[in-house]
Amino acid sequence: MSAPLRPAPLRKAGSDADYKPRYRPQPLREAALALVATLREYAMLMRLHRPIGIWLLMWPALWGLWIAGQGRPGEHAFIVFMAGVLVMRSAGCVINDYADRDFDPHVRRTAERPLAAGRVTRGEALTLFVALGLVASWLALQLEPLARLYAVAGAVLAVTYPFMKRFIHVPQFYLGAAFAWSIPMAFAELTGEVPRLAWLMVVAVVLWAAIYDTMYAMVDREDDLRLGLKSTAILFGDADRAVIGVMQAMMLLAMWLVGREAGLGGWYQAGVGAGAAVFAYEQWLIHGRYPARCFAAFNNNHYFGLVVFAGLALDYLFR
């Protein structure tokens, strides 16, 4: 027979076996974690984790600085313009998401953005935009008077662009003007005037922005049609690849004319030639109009800006 079961010994109240550690609040640590989480959402709202917009805004600014400064733009102008690129791109992303706050939740690509997903409030977004605007204003005050005037016009373009897709079918060209505006600012800062060469560069950048932003709009074409928004991808329809090709040819021609007007030589033309190869690769990417490949083509434009600037910088370096 098995031994009879014996009851387990009683534990004394308060013994080590019954002890459960009490939760001890750590207000400083919890506040620090909450602050870090909030700053992370703000950084995502400014799209700092997606630097492609910074590059696409930076390259025209560098082109303008290098040509206006004859290859030597100076430390002051370089620092102010590069800081301005970062701040204005961040501010543009914030005001864009605020303008699209009622649309982004219904678009697959943008539904998880901080404002669309409710992780950042509208008031927080506006406060962040104002803060960035104040920083941009301070940077503009470091420029020469004529460049400050152009900075004001550039700010108007940047703030109003996000609303254009509701009213015009070609908001990509409006974006191009905003992204190109650093060029007349650079000439105004370094030369005290804005010559014909600067406006030719503006035309080239407007075409370039229309190229890559049409590729970007091809990703969202179905969602934009459903929401009643406007874009060049919708306007061009089945002719989108052909129209992009025409704009690529026009942009390359404009960049060649820029080189001739600025007296640039073989290194610069080699950079533009490398840019033509980048454009050809993008045409291959968007051939089937698959959203992922169209998005890859959009991102690939960073390399176009890079190779053109490399040719430009080498041309001035080896004179």
Residue range 134-160: average pLDDT? 95
Q: Of 258 and 101, which is predicted with more confidence?
A: 258
Number of domains in the chain: 1
Please report, for the domain that includes residue 176, its CATH number: 1.10.357.140
Residue range 41-67: average pLDDT? 95
- Predicted confidence at residue 168, as pLDDT, reads 84
**Per-residue pLDDT tens for 57-112?**
999 999 999 999 999 999 999 999 999 999 999 999 999 999 888 888 888 888 88
32 within domain boundaries: no
- Predicted confidence at residue 1, as pLDDT, reads 46
19 within domain boundaries: no
Tell me how far the alpha carbon of residue 288 is from its chain's centroid.
Answer: 25
137 within domain boundaries: yes
89 within domain boundaries: yes
pTM, entire model: 0.88
**Per-residue pLDDT tens for 204-235?**
999 999 999 999 999 988 888 888 888 888 99
**Are the beta carbons of 294 and 218 closer than 8 angstroms?**
yes
Query: What does the alpha-carbon distance between residue 196 and residue 261 come to, in Å, rounded to a whole number?
Result: 9
286 within domain boundaries: yes
102 within domain boundaries: yes
Domain range spanning residue 85?
A: 43-317
- Predicted confidence at residue 271, as pLDDT, reads 97
Q: Is residue 17 scored above 60 in pLDDT?
A: no
Alpha carbon distance, N-terminus to C-terminus of the chain: 106
86 within domain boundaries: yes
- Predicted confidence at residue 95, as pLDDT, reads 93
159 within domain boundaries: yes
